[in-house]
């Protein structure tokens, strides 16, 4: 499966915050991370927060040192991701999870005919 790079930029973590300080990276270059795994702890003028990983993939590059101030919208981390393996959600909503074995409680009794 083809690899492609995806660069995650620092999102606005509050209402109109303009920057954040990197406190601690919780991943290193070369790590393989799951989606929603803790990525980095940053501090804004409001609070310290851990940003979850937006993607599953391998960390290709960290764009900021610890203690460095990163403006909103600037690159934070670049992932190497599987190009076509994981379906991408649209701008609205999420890809429904497919259960391997759907849950049920009701059992049927076959008809006599």
Does residue 110 contact residue 93 with C-beta atoms inside 8 Å?
A: no
Q: Cβ of residue 110: shortest distance to other proteins, in angstroms?
A: 4
Q: Give the DSSP letter of residue 95.
A: P
Q: Cβ of residue 107: shortest distance to other proteins, in angstroms?
A: 6
44: number of Cβ within 10 Å? 17
Judged by CB under 8 A, the number of residues near other proteins is 22
For CA atoms 27, 32, 38, 42, give the dihedral sign: positive
Site residues (CB under 8 A) for other proteins, limited to 20-79: none
Q: Is 1 in the site for other proteins (CB under 8 A)?
A: no
Site residues (CB under 8 A) for other proteins, limited to 68-97: 87-96
Q: Is 111 in the site for other proteins (CB under 8 A)?
A: yes
Q: Cβ of residue 6: shortest distance to other proteins, in angstroms?
A: 15
Strand partners, 5: 80
For other proteins, the closer of residues 30 and 93 by Cβ is 93
Strand partners, 70: 20
For other proteins, the closer of residues 47 and 88 by Cβ is 88
Does residue 57 contact residue 81 with C-beta atoms inside 8 Å?
A: yes
């Amino acid at each position: 499966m083809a690899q492609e790079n995806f660069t995650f930029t620092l999102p606005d973590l509050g209402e109109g915050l303009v920057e954040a300080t990197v406190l601690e990276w919780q991943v290193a270059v070369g790590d393989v991370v799951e989606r929603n795994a803790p990525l980095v702890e940053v501090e804004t003028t409001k609070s310290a927060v851990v940003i979850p990983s937006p993607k599953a993939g391998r960390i290709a590059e960290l764009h900021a040192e610890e203690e460095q101030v990163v403006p909103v919208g600037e690159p934070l981390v670049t992932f190497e991701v599987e190009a076509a393996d994981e379906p991408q959600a649209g701008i609205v909503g999420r890809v429904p999870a497919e259960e391997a074995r759907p849950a049920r409680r009701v059992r049927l009794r076959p008809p006599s005919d």
